[in-house]
Structure 1
Amino acid sequence: MLHKVWSIPLVCLAVSPALSASLPAPLTQDDFLVFDHKQAALGQLLFYDKILSGNRNIACATCHHPKFGTGDGLSLGIGEGGVGLGPKRTAGDGASRIKKRIPRNAPALWNLGAKDLHTLFHDGRLSIAETYENGFNSPAEEWLPTGFNSLLAAQAVFPLVAQFEMSGNPKENEIAGAVHDRIDAAWPILAKRVRIIPEYGQMFIDAFAHIESAEEVTIVEIANALAAFQAIEWQSFDSPFDHYLSGNKAALTSPQKRGLDLFYGKAGCAACHSGPLMSDQKFHALGLPPFGPGRTRRFDPMVRDVGRMGESDALDDAYRFRTPMLRNVELTAPYGHNGAYPTLDGIIRHHLDPDGMLANWQPDVAALPDAPWLAPIDFVVWRDKREMARQARFRDVDPMSLTDPEISDLVAFLRALTGTASVTTPPFGVPDKVPSGLPVDTPQ
Structure 2
Amino acid sequence: MRHLLATALLTLPIAAQAVDLPKPAAVFPAQDWPETRLGWQLFYDPILSGNRSVSCATCHHPDLGTSDGLSLGLGDGATGLGTKRVIDAKTPPEQRIPRNAPALWNLGATEFTVFFHDGRLEDDPNRPSGIRTPLGAEMEMGFDNALAAQAMFPVLSGDEMAGHLSENDVAQAVRLGQLTGDGGAWDILAKRVEAIPAYRTGFDDVIGADTPVHFTHIANAIAAFITFEWRADQSPFDAHLRDGAPLDAGQTAGMNLFYGKAECSACHSGLFQTDHDFHAIAMPQIGPGKAARFERHNRDVGRGRVTGDEADFYAFRTPSLRNITETAPYGHSGAYASLEDVVRHHLDPTTALAAYSINQAVLSEGAFTNDTALIENAKDVAAIAAANTLPTTHLTDTEVAQLIAFLGALTDYDSLKGRLGVPETVPSGLPLDK
TM bin, normalised by shorter chain, reads over 0.9
Q: Distance in 1 between matches of 2:294 and 2:88?
A: 28
Q: Report the CA distance shift for 1:134/1:261 in structure 2 as closer, same or farther (over 3 A).
A: same
SS where residue 122 of structure 2 aligns?
strand
Distance in 2, matches of 1:165 and 1:106, equals 11
Equivalent-residue separation in structure 2 for 1:59 and 1:219 (angstroms):
15
Q: Please give the secondary structure, in 2, of the residue aligned with 1:216.
A: coil
Segments of structure 1 that go 5 or more residues without pairing to the other structure are 8-15
Distance 1:386 1:421 in 2: 46
- The one-letter code matched in structure 2 to 1:40 is T
**AA partner of residue 211 (structure 1):** G
Are positions 1:257 and 2:252 aligned together?
yes
What aligned pairs does 1:375-390 form with structure 2 within 5 A after superposition?
376-390=369-383
Cα distance in 2, alignment partners of residues 253 and 172 from structure 1:
55
| Partner of residue 23, structure 2 | 25
Which residue does the alignment assign to 2:12? none
Find the partner of 2:338 among 324, 343, 350: 343
The answer to whether the aligner puts 1:212 opposite 2:209 as a matched pair is yes
Counterparts of 1:170 and 1:130 in 2: how far apart (Å)? 37
Q: Deviations over 1:52-81 (max 9, x none)?
A: 000001000000000000000000011111
Identity rate, percent: 45
Shift of 1:406: 0.4
Give the letter aligned to residue 244 of structure 2: N
Counterparts in 2 of 1:268 and 1:316: CA distance versus 1, 3 Å: same
- TM-score normalised by L of structure 2: 0.92
Q: Distance in 2 between matches of 1:309 and 1:336?
A: 17
1:440 aligns with 2:432: yes
Please state how far the C-alpha of 1:259 moved relative to its aligned partner. 0.5
The equivalent residue for 1:403 is: 396
What is residue 323 of structure 1 aligned with on the other side? 318
Q: 2:353 corresponds to which residue?
A: 358
Give the match's secondary structure for 2:78: coil
Q: Secondary structure at the match of 2:422?
A: coil
Match of 1:38 in 2: 34
In the aligned structure 2, how far is the partner of 1:371 from the partner of 1:156? 27
Aligned to 1:58: 54
Which of residues 214, 236, 241 in structure 2 aligns to 1:240?
236
- Name stretches of at least 5 consecutive residues in structure 2 with no aligned partner: 4-14
8 Å Cα contact 2:82/2:364 also seen in 1: no
- 1:31-68 Cα shifts (integer Å, max 9, x gaps): 11221111111111101100000000100000000000
- After superposition, the C-alpha distances for 1:179-199 in whole angstroms (9 at most, x for unaligned) are 122233311110000001111
Structure 1 partner of 2:11? none
**Equivalent residue number for residue 189 of structure 1:** 188
The answer to whether residue 411 in structure 2 is matched with residue 418 in structure 1 is yes
Residue 86 of structure 2: aligned partner:
90
In the TM superposition, residue 130 of structure 1 has moved relative to its aligned partner by 5.7
User: Which residue does the alignment assign to 1:283?
Assistant: 278
Aligned pair in 2 of structure 1 residues 436, 342: CA closer, same or farther (>3 Å)?
A: same
Match of 1:270 among 256, 265, 273: 265
Equivalent residue letter for 1:301: R
- Number of residue pairs matched by the alignment: 419
TM-score norm. by structure 1 comes to: 0.90
Q: CA RMSD in A?
A: 1.9
Contact conserved, 2:123 with 2:145, CA < 8 A, in 1?
no
Q: Deviations over 1:398-427 (max 9, x none)?
A: 011100010001001001001032235x32
CA distance in 2, matches of 1:75, 1:298: 21
Quote the residue 2:198 is aligned against.
199
The Cα offsets for residues 238-269 of structure 1, whole Å up to 9 and x where unpaired, read as: 0000000002232x111000000000000000
Aligned residue in 2 for 1:10: none
SS in 1 for 2:375: helix
Q: 1:81 aligned to 2:74?
A: no
Letter in 2 for 1:435: P
SS at structure 1 position matched to 2:374: helix
Moved more, 337-346 or 289-298: 289-298
Q: Measure how far apart 1:109 and its partner are.
A: 0.4
Indicate if the aligned counterparts of 1:290 and 1:381 stay in contact, CA closer than 8 A: yes
Q: Report how far residue 6 of structure 1 moved.
A: 8.9
How far did residue 170 of structure 1 move?
2.2
Conservation of the 8 A alpha-carbon contact between 1:130 and 1:137: no
Counterpart pick for 1:120 among 105, 115, 120: 115
For the residues of structure 1 that align with 2:313 and 2:127, how far apart are their CA atoms?
A: 24
Structure 2: distance between partners of 1:368 and 1:245? 38
**8 Å contact kept, 2:330–2:337:** yes
Q: How far apart are the structure 2 equivalents of 1:99 and 1:62?
A: 18
Shift >4 Å, 4+ stretches: 16-19
Q: Deviations over 1:345-376 (max 9, x none)?
A: 1111000011221222212221112323x1x2
